[in-house]
């Protein structure tokens, strides 16, 4: 199964993407901040990453 890492500072966007992608059969990993969650990216090695480019 493909794993998708979603990084967004807005909880509503994370939840929406989680629901939509999970329904399509993807394994979704959620993260809040880009810098801190780069470690998560390195550890999980997802197939795809969805990233909010405008985060504080």
Residue 25: per-residue pLDDT? 97
Residue 1: per-residue pLDDT? 76
Identify the bridge partners of residue 31 per DSSP, sorted by sequence position: 7
**Contact assessment for residue 7 and residue 33, using Cβ atoms and an 8 Å cutoff:** yes
**Contact assessment for residue 30 and residue 18, using Cβ atoms and an 8 Å cutoff:** yes
Residue 43: per-residue pLDDT? 84
Q: How does pLDDT run across 1-56, given as a tens digit for each residue?
A: 799 999 999 999 999 999 999 999 999 999 987 677 778 888 889 999 998 888 76
Residue 34: per-residue pLDDT? 66
């Amino acid at each position: 199964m493909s794993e998708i890492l979603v990084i967004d500072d807005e909880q509503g966007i994370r939840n929406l993407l989680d629901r939509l992608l999970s329904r399509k059969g993807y394994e979704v990993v959620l993260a809040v901040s880009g810098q801190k969650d780069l470690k998560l990216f390195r550890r999980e090695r997802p197939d795809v990453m969805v990233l909010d480019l405008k985060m504080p």
